[in-house]
A = this chain, B = another copy of it.
Amino acid sequence: MKKTFFIAGGDLRQIYAAEKLSEFFSVCITGFDKNISIPDTLRSEESIPLCAAPSDYLLLPTPVSSDDVMLNAPFSQNGISISKLVSTVKKDGIVFGGKISKNVKKIFTAEGIEVIDYLDREEFSVLNAVPTAEGAIQLALEEMPATIYGSKILITGFGRISKILVKLLTAMGADVTVAARKYSDLAWAEIFGCKSISISRIEEHGEKYDIVYNTVPSVILGKSFLEKLNTDCLMIDLASRPGGIDFKAASELGIKVVWALGLPGKSAPVTSGRIIADTIKNILAERGAI
């Protein structure tokens, strides 16, 4: 008999995760009673009534909650209280979710239920960098009056997102420079077809870029750097708070900055949902549970 997976709250990603998990599990989904168009393939899943018995697994969204009390469930009419979810999962079951706070975690572990944050999985972050990079390309295509082909692009940092951006942008014929700290990252950037500069010397750097992508989550692109850019340079900040660009200085200089957060969920919810499902399958496979 198939194990059961209860899926609660979240946005479109959660629906697509449910769709993918339904290949392996008997899936039951809740929190989508407000006006939302759901893909055909899941319509049947939706009609499943709330599982009578507790499930083997429970999937919560990213982030699980903003106040540690109510579930993040924008498509639920009446809202879902997290404490009510405890009884929907077996004592030896597992709760999965993203950005789970200590308090929320305690609600389940107090009952002996294991809690796993899939954001801690490296393969999740790797796979999620693909929709982020594609979303970053889309932004450039939408905002630039010129082609990416032939444009001069600076990317700061050389983590997961940068590596995929480098792959896409060099294939599109851009002239890409990577600014990074470690010599080995500079070496990799060159091997993958870019120029490279030390991030410590970025302010000395007088190149005129058409696009600057930042992936470093600390303000490294300050006024003296921004002043060297053309005012029609497009800046796209992909880093989480506080971002890497001195927004105030950019604004004063008339340079357009797009701060792009949460791209995977926005630009490719299908893929993002599938990545959540794949990561959970990996976790369960490691434990011999599937």
Contacts and interface: CB of A to CB of B under 8 A. Distances in A.
Interface of A: 12, 39-40, 121-123, 125-127, 130-131, 134-135, 137-138, 141-142, 144-150, 164, 167-168, 171-173, 182-184, 186-188, 191-193, 231-232, 267-271, 282
A40 B141 contact: no
Contacts of A183: 121-123, 282
A88 B130 CA distance: 54
B173 A147 contact: no
Contact of A146 (B141, B142, B173, B268): B268
Given A191-B164, A232-B39, A149 B130 contact: yes
User: What 3 A-B pairs are tightest by C-beta distance, nearest first?
Assistant: A171-B171, A146-B270, A122-B184
26 contacts: A122-B182, A122-B183, A123-B183, A123-B187, A126-B184, A126-B187, A127-B187, A134-B141, A134-B147, A137-B137, A137-B141, A142-B142, A144-B268, A145-B268, A145-B270, A146-B268, A146-B270, A147-B268, A149-B191, A149-B271, A167-B192, A168-B172, A171-B171, A171-B172, A173-B193, A183-B282
Contacts of A131: 147, 149
Contacts of A40: 231-232
A147 B187 contact: no
Contact of A134 (B135, B172, B282): B172
A262 B214 CA distance: 32
A186 B127 CA distance: 10
A282 B181 CA distance: 12
A278 to B, nearest CB: 9
A12 B192 contact: no
Contacts of A269: 145
B184 A150 contact: no
Contact of A123 (B125, B184, B192): B184
